[in-house]
Amino acid sequence: MTAYQYVAEDRRGERISGVYEEVPDRDGLREDLEKLGYRLLQCRRMSRRSPAEQVKKKIHQHEIVAFAYEFAGMFSAGLSVVRCLETMEEQAANEAMRTVLSSVRQSIETGASVAEAFEPYRSVFGDFFMGMLEAGQSGGKLSQTLATAADYYEKQLAVRNKIRGAFIYPAVVALLCVVILSAIVIFVIPVFQKLYHQLHIQLPVPTQILIGLSDLFRHHFWIVPLLVGAVYWGRKGMLKIPGLKQRFDRMTLTIPILGSLLQMVLVSRYIRTFAMMHSAGIGVVQALRQARQVCHHAVIDEIGRRLEEEILAGGSLSRPLAEYPLFPPVIVQLSHAGEESGTVGQMLTKGADYLDAAIDRKTSSLLLKLEPLLSVIMGVLVGLILLAVYLPMFDYMSHIK
């Protein structure tokens, strides 16, 4: 069985496009489309990668947010799921999103449930979205759970954009520093190297190191992208090893300055995911399980399993939370208050909002510290390079006197 991307038309002559999976060949695709009332116009066989893998990088988070809001709004207005998908498919500006919606719609038309139709695209929409679909489908509250999913993704996107926006300036300064240093090493150092060679000046060790780096960059520049690629792909391969991923995840939370910010982001995501799922009617244990799966972090995975075991044993949620320094006291207190009043989801949602505000303040504070630090580092590096360049000249002038 394979997948085909196709273009077809219905009896009115209106064209549709999409992806059809698990058909043996083009003839099988044509027969299946004819059963649905479409005539195949053209098709092409897709690669062996799953349809989700092919479109995942082409669909952005803000498109998922917009889709969830539109889906919830149209469904709550009384439109059928198929009609909602048809409308959004026609209006989708992103070809990848249109392909996904077409595939999901066809699956539903052939008898699949909403959750089953979206399942092949779990990596595109995320575990949280799939959990909301399943909860809404089983509880008859699909429009509410879709709206909850949209709200969740919007808040996650807002936090991510704030962090990215705050670090744009430091990133630009760091890039400028790299460009200036590269220009000095590639263009300025060779001029002085030639001059010192003509004057037969004995070079000190710092200058020899600098000239060696200049020769490396000028004559073996291909080593740099090779090393970057090796580090990137090596890191991805290493993180697939469970033991190494656990160590890496733990290490990221202990990074000076940034570690505390990463902890807050991780806790906010875990708590918000659990709170929204629990508020949507999902059981405590299942909501905790889904929340740790959404986070994809070794530390949260370990803590989440302990919390699930505690709940299954009849214990409370707040007591084991208090045992982990990763969770701020306000989260523990709100969890306890929620258990007492029967509003755990609502109370922890407020806790996640509190953490998001704290993340915003922390990010602004880090930015104020990083800006002068980067300027100092850039000045020191340029100064050291210039000192290494002019050291032989100073020595030469002292011998002339």
Query: Domains of the chain: which residue ranges?
Result: 2-48, 60-157, 167-401
Report the distance separating Cα 118 and Cα 132, nearest Å: 12
Give the pLDDT of residue 401. 53
> Which structure tokens are listed for 198?
């003509």
pLDDT less than 50: residues of the chain:
none
Query: Which CA distances in Å does 391 have to 201, 226, 381, 383?
Result: 11, 33, 15, 12
**C-beta separation of 4 from 43 below 8 A:** yes
Give the pLDDT of residue 222. 77
- Amino acid type, 382: V
Among residues 172, 210, 173, the alpha carbon closest in space to that of 190 is found at 210
Give the pLDDT of residue 347. 92
Over residues 109-151, the pLDDT tens digits come to 888 888 888 888 888 888 888 888 888 887 778 888 888 888 8
Top-level class of domain 60-157: mainly alpha
Among residues 185, 228, 195, the alpha carbon closest in space to that of 381 is found at 185
Model confidence, pTM: 0.73
Sign of CA dihedral 229, 231, 236, 241: positive
Give the pLDDT of residue 56. 66
Over residues 28-80, the pLDDT tens digits come to 888 888 877 888 887 777 655 555 666 667 788 888 888 888 888 888 888 88
**C-beta separation of 102 from 16 below 8 A:** yes
Over residues 299-322, the pLDDT tens digits come to 898 888 888 888 888 888 888 888
